[in-house]
Amino acid sequence: MATNTISKSESSKYDVSNGTTTIYTGASVIKGVYVNTAIATDTVILGDDTTNLIVLPVGLVAGTMINLPDVFCATSIKLTRSTTATGDITVFYAIDRD
């Protein structure tokens, strides 16, 4: 994201049992994660094309809100589940307004 640009806030809900998903393609900033349905069986990972940035552990209960410092993703935001993770989360992020 360029310096001094106005960002547009977005949020997207995901069933993590569906496996790897691209949440957004392009530079972006993860702002937070809300757990709609408990994370069970295995971890859930958020990152970009090359780096795992956030690991959500097994046992996060429904109703958990994780506010994050701005976590910059250079290329995209991707959700990856470890093997058999289940649960449902909402990811909050910001993008360039272009």
Indicate the domain borders of the chain: 12-96
Instruction: Name the DSSP class of 90.
Output: E
pLDDT in tens, the chain (98 residues): 444 454 678 888 999 888 889 999 999 999 999 999 999 888 899 999 889 999 999 999 999 999 999 999 999 999 998 778 889 999 999 986 55
CA distance 94 to 7: 6
Instruction: List the helix and strand counts (H, then E) for the chain.
Output: 0, 8
Residue at 6: amino acid letter: I
Q: What angle (nearest 5°) sits at the alpha carbon of residue 85, between those of residues 71 and 21?
A: 55
In CATH, the number for domain 12-96 is 2.60.120
CA distance 6 to 96: 7
